[in-house]
């Protein structure tokens, strides 16, 4: 019974992280339109404040379901604040500012590829700090995922810019935050960790926007820009809600590898809605990413997911005597 319970838990985690990857792919596509023409610092701040507000009901429902749960200790508050600073504030500012600089200098593709190395940093951190088991399947998956990302981006030459440094720094910080969050999820529920990340992150961002006197940029948003903020906030809320629930159930190295599925999703949306030309390299990249994710995950989580789906199927009624 315990074995099946563990397998179901892993299967549910895999399903949730797969949902996160799809949301991530859609978000990347949407944000390319949402941020255009806005002050990125103001956009990130108002959006993340909205996300923190939308996550409050999830945390309240979880608290009602677990009324006897342990109260947060001082160390828990400190960890949540660190998660908010390292994951919910600084890297968002660095990432969007870095993309702006990289795009202006012709290095957007290089910056995007650097962000796609997040799973590598997270995997190394997981081995070092979480004592996750080293598996050669992860190494094979990493090679395929990098190759797939390279092909999907059609990266022919590396253009290193100041923006590249910002994006790389944001990528490392997010990998570090996911590592800290994975450790914290052993003690706290996913809804609390997710709200801590976005809630404390929003407080830090509000303070930053106040100190840098950029609230006027937010006030100058047009009605169309506010609509994009709302759409982006809904997607980020879905990302946080599914990601931390999934991360609580599976290894960090596996979870971040699955996130790479989001890149082919973005490419498919670009082909379908922007009319981008389908190149053989892009198709090969999508296939490489798919096999890379399969290799990194291994067979056990898939068995758990399949078994969970089977168990939830309605069973035919037995004929009455």
287: confidence class by pLDDT, cuts 50, 70, 90: very high
Which residues neighbour 243 within 8 Å (Cβ) at sequence distance 6 or greater?
A: 16, 17, 20, 194, 255
Percent of the chain whose pLDDT exceeds 90: 72
Position 163 scores a pLDDT of 93
The yes-or-no verdict on residue 166 having pLDDT over 60 is: yes
- Residue 64: count other Cβ atoms within 10 Å of its Cβ: 8
Whether pTM exceeds 0.85: yes
The pLDDT score that the predictor gives to residue 1 is 43
Answer yes or no: is pLDDT of 65 > 80: no
Positive or negative, the Cα torsion across 160, 164, 169, 173? negative
pLDDT digits (tens, 9 = 90+) for 52-62: 999 999 888 87
In 3D space, the residue among 273, 210, 184, 267 whose CA is nearest the CA of residue 49 turns out to be 210
In Å, what is the CA distance from 1 to each residue of 4, 5, 11, 14, 311? 5, 6, 15, 20, 14
Ramachandran assignment for 131, one of left (phi > 0), alpha (psi -120 to 50 degrees), beta (any other): left
pLDDT digits (tens, 9 = 90+) for 230-276: 999 999 999 999 999 999 999 999 999 999 999 999 999 999 998 88
Distances (CA, A) of 268 to 164, 208, 278: 25, 36, 9
With pLDDT > 70 as the criterion, what percentage of the chain qualifies?
A: 90
For 251, half-sphere exposure in the C-beta direction (CA atoms, 13 angstrom radius) is: 23
Quick: pLDDT tens for 178-208.
999 999 999 999 999 999 999 999 999 999 9
pLDDT at 86: 98
Q: How confident is the model at residue 308 (pLDDT cuts 50, 70, 90)?
A: low
68: pLDDT strictly greater than 90: no
Q: Mean pLDDT of all residues in the chain?
A: 90
Nearest Cα to 91, choosing from 196, 176, 150, 181?
A: 176
Mean pLDDT on 153-163: 81
Query: Which one of 153-157, 168-172, 266-270 scores highest in mean pLDDT?
Result: 168-172
- Tokens representing 41 are 């610092």
Q: Are 55 and 295 in contact (CB under 8 A)?
A: no
């Amino acid at each position: 019974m315990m074995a099946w319970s563990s397998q179901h838990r892993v299967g549910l985690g895999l399903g949730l992280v797969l949902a996160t990857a799809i949301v991530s792919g859609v978000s990347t596509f949407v944000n390319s339109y949402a941020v255009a023409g806005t002050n990125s610092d103001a956009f990130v701040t108002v959006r993340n404040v909205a996300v923190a507000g939308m996550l409050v009901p999830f945390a309240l429902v979880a608290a009602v379901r677990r009324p006897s749960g342990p109260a947060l200790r001082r160390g828990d508050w400190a960890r949540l604040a660190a998660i908010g600073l390292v994951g919910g504030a600084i890297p968002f500012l660095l990432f969007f500012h870095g993309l702006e600089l990289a795009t202006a200098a012709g290095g957007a593709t290089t910056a995007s590829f650097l962000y796609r190395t997040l799973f590598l940093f997270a995997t190394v951190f997981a081995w070092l700090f979480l004592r996750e088991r080293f598996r050669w399947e992860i190494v094979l998956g990493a090679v395929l995922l990098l190759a797939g990302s390279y092909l999907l981006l059609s990266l022919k030459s590396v253009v290193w810019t100041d923006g590249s440094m910002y994006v790389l720094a944001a990528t490392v910080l997010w990998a570090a935050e996911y590592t800290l969050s994975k450790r914290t999820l052993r003690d706290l529920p996913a809804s609390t960790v997710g709200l801590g990340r976005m809630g404390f992150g929003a407080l830090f961002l509000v303070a930053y926007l106040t100190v840098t006197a950029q609230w006027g940029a937010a006030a100058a948003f047009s009605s169309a820009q506010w609509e994009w903020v709302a759409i982006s906030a809904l997607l980020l809320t879905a990302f946080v809600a599914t990601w931390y629930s999934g991360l609580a159930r599976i290894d960090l190295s596996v979870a971040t590898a699955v996130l790479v599925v989001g890149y082919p999703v973005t490419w498919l949306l670009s082909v379908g809605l922007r009319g981008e030309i389908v190149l053989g390299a892009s198709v090969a990249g999508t296939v490489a990413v798919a096999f890379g994710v399969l290799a990194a995950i291994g067979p056990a989580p898939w068995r758990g997911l399949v078994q969970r789906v089977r168990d939830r199927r309605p069973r035919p009624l037995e004929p009455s005597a």
